[in-house]
Structure 1
């Protein structure tokens, strides 16, 4: 017989389980609060208009619920979805990717963040190392930077020749048309921030010991070459904005709005529906008379520091 105390205990456990599931969002909120505190100590700083946290988290949870529905649809219909995230260093690409993947099955939605090509890869067809990361049926792949490295950092920093740069622009429209003809849903996002905003974010990384690792020597050099990167971006958008795979620009000075706007747009680009799932019923656990659970030696336990 179930007593009121049993019911209360069960409800408490359910509450703790739900709260634990949202701890990451709470940690992120604390991170935002920590940032606000750091900002308040900067002389002359005036808080900019940003999205209220309660509204932000409410909408984020709602959109993440829709992302789960999209994931189910992609898996059920065996769709292949590719999403490219491009933009300047510190533009917020990683932040939106984190929020997209947060609730999703990594077997369905995975991230491709390729390092610089090795010696062997540099001798291959340029697109070859990206092709191996394209999705199979029922998968969505998010590229945290993509083959557009050649149009940006490789060109600006002199890592490719002028002939390789021009060949890229001749090839990439046909490459993307081929992907779309094969049935892949291809989305391309450029995260746009201002010169002042990037300088501010870089300075915040310099002063924040938890984020200094994000600032590489290449990032520092990109600040000096802001105008070179701007020209490269403008050429890239002009020459690769094709009907089959258009570019979508995300205004990303306000990170919260950028994340919500990008996720909402992504959801709007795939016509998904509800997938019926059979009810899950836990079977009774088998118990065997001849099984005796063995104790774990005390020296194998992780010390209980907390």
Structure 2
């Protein structure tokens, strides 16, 4: 029997997830800044209502599940998102992991194997606990792991995060999703690093792959067995949607429907790119862009309903379903 997928409201069978956005955010913040210098556009109560309205509209447009990849380093507040989840008809899935492109906070320099405060790596403990027991006492279990490499490459601290993610993956079987920079080829580095630490390519999503139009690069990744995230529709300040769609269509024609997932990397509120900025510079960067604009563009370009179902339903269900072999066996290789 295939294990169920943990959501904010409890376990759901993979076959019941329906059309799924695999790379989104609800609220992105910066806890120290938020505490000491609140953003003028952030109103916690109004933000809840905004998120509920956005996710309810999304359900009306046919989407049934949203993966919230807000992890440590991005102001993750699972208790706040749980208040949204209880009011909306879509399934929300939480993530564990750590978002850093260079260094970790000072705490991690003193805690861990061979460090001042000797003990197990707290990153591994956090990731596994989030997946198996729940996050921050909420009982909401993480359904995926999120990690990052960017222009700095795999620094010592980024390597530590990726290593901890690989260990948590081996322990739980949960899929790893990445933030990558396809213009710098970091997805290939992520694949090599994680695979060398026991992560099977078919349990890895190289995120933000739609930021490039280099079909050869994308095909090399998929030919290794990974899934690529075409997950920044609406980020037209990076690459226009028409060009992102053209890349997906070209890959569909080459037979890669079973190795792509679609999403926006959008948020109801992000301190990094607040609503006023998005309204001017990225007006289509929101949850509704796929069902309202992108899917019609894909269909007009020749994508079949089977293609769209594969990318929005079948592939996410496969990636989010914990494999039967995942058990509570001891951590380690």
TM-score (norm 2): 0.31
Task: Give the structure with the larger strand fraction.
Answer: 2
TM-score by length of 1: 0.33
Flag the structure with higher helix content.
1
Larger Rg: 1
